[in-house]
């Protein structure tokens, strides 16, 4: 596939095809009304110009070095249609190759094209000497000091798009309400009444308990799972063991030697 694309770029037929496209476009303009003044008509004022990068056989084609151009019979302004053959700065090479390749290469799909482009970048471009830096891009990259900044992690990004708010913890079940959803606060924050939370309005599958002053995330919190909570066995609330009362010889849950057991 890659070889096919490359072979295409080095074939005279490819340039002949671009020339044909240019001529088709130019033919439509000849004799048309002037787009500048609207009064005159366009007549041929083509000039000679050599395209670059073509194989020598292309020079056998008629008009290979002619740039089609027109001038108005009334205002004299020049109109030059865009050209695929004279790949100017504003014309990207890739789209032209792709456009032609789509017609020349059978069964060309976007996936194949992506694969070929990636292979070309990895194997050809990065490993060939670049005239502007007198080295291959890969060597240059490996030798130079890295100035790359590490991309933030997905967790950092999640937190970055959250809002910081304050909630009051419900003492009975240790939860806070955020946008109508109850979140379970870790039991180690059970003694804190006012909790600072971060959350994203569009994603209430998790929220964060934050530091009051810095806003830094301390712990993630998740919505209360009422069904699971209902199934789980609860820890038995501890009741103080009955103590032996020294005076009466019986048992009491109050302090020993109370005199009333």
Contact residue for Zn ion among 16, 18, 19, 34 (CB under 5 A): 34
The conformational region for residue 249 under phi > 0 = left, psi -120 to 50 = alpha, else beta, is left
Measured from the CB atom, is 34 or 221 closer to Zn ion?
34
Q: Which of 11, 20, 25, 36 binds Zn ion (CB under 5 A)?
A: 36
Asked if 37 and 69 touch (Cβ cutoff 8 Å), the reply is no
C-alpha to C-alpha distances, 40 to 25, 68, 75, 248, nearest whole angstrom: 20, 18, 7, 126
Residues forming beta bridges with residue 221, ordered by sequence position: 207
Question: Which of 37, 91, 121, 192 forms a contact with Zn ion (CB under 5 A)?
Answer: 37
- The answer to whether the CB of 11 falls within 8 A of the CB of 99 is no
Rounded to 5 degrees, what angle do the CA atoms 191, 185, 201 make? 130
Assess contact for 43 and 77: CB atoms under 8 A: no
What values do phi and psi take at 182, rounded to 5? -90, 125
CB of 68 to Zn ion, least distance (A): 18
Burial of 72 (0-12, 13-18, 19+ CB in 10 A): buried
**How near is the Cβ of 22 to Zn ion at its closest, in Å?**
22
The distance of closest approach from Cβ of residue 26 to Zn ion in the complex, given in angstroms and rounded to an integer, is 17
Q: Which of the ranges 25-33, 35-43, 163-171, 196-204 carries the binding residues for Zn ion, by CB under 5 A?
A: 35-43
Q: x/- site string to Zn ion, residues 151 to 180, per CB under 5 A? A: ------------------------------
- Using CB under 5 A, which residues numbered 63 to 102 contact Zn ion? 72, 74-75
Part of the chain binding Zn ion (CB under 5 A), chosen from 32-40, 109-117, 133-141, 146-154: 32-40
- Binding span for Zn ion by CB under 5 A among 33-41, 148-156, 232-240, 241-249: 33-41
Minimum Å distance from CB 161 to Zn ion? 55
The angle formed by the CA atoms of residues 42, 44 and 45, to the nearest 5 degrees, is 110
The residue count for binding Zn ion (CB under 5 A) is 7
Residue 34 or 176 with smaller CB distance to Zn ion: 34
Binding site for Zn ion (CB under 5 A): 34, 36-37, 40, 72, 74-75
């Amino acid at each position: 596939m890659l070889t096919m694309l490359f072979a295409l770029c080095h074939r005279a037929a490819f340039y002949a095809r671009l020339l044909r496209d240019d001529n088709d476009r130019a033919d439509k303009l000849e004799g048309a009304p002037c787009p500048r003044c609207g009064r005159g008509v366009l007549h041929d004022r083509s000039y000679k110009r050599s395209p670059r990068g073509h194989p020598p056989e292309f020079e056998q084609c008629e008009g290979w070095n002619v740039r089609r151009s027109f001038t108005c019979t009334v205002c004299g302004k020049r109109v030059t249609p865009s050209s695929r053959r004279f790949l100017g700065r504003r014309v990207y090479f890739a789209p032209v190759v792709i456009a032609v390749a789509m017609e020349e290469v059978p069964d060309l799909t976007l996936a194949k094209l992506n694969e070929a482009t990636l292979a070309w970048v990895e194997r050809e471009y990065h490993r060939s000497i670049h005239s502007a830096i007198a080295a291959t891009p890969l060597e240059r990259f490996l030798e130079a000091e890295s100035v790359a900044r590490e991309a933030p992690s997905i967790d950092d990004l999640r937190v970055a798009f959250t809002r910081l708010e304050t909630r009051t913890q419900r003492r009975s079940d240790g939860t806070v309400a955020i946008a109508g959803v109850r979140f379970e606060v870790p039991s180690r924050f059970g003694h804190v009444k006012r909790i600072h939370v971060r959350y994203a309005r569009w994603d209430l599958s998790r929220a964060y308990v934050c530091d009051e002053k810095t806003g830094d995330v301390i712990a993630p919190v998740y919505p209360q799972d009422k069904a699971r909570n209902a199934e789980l066995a609860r820890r038995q609330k501890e009741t103080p063991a009955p103590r032996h009362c020294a005076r009466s010889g019986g048992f009491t849950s109050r302090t020993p030697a109370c005199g009333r057991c």
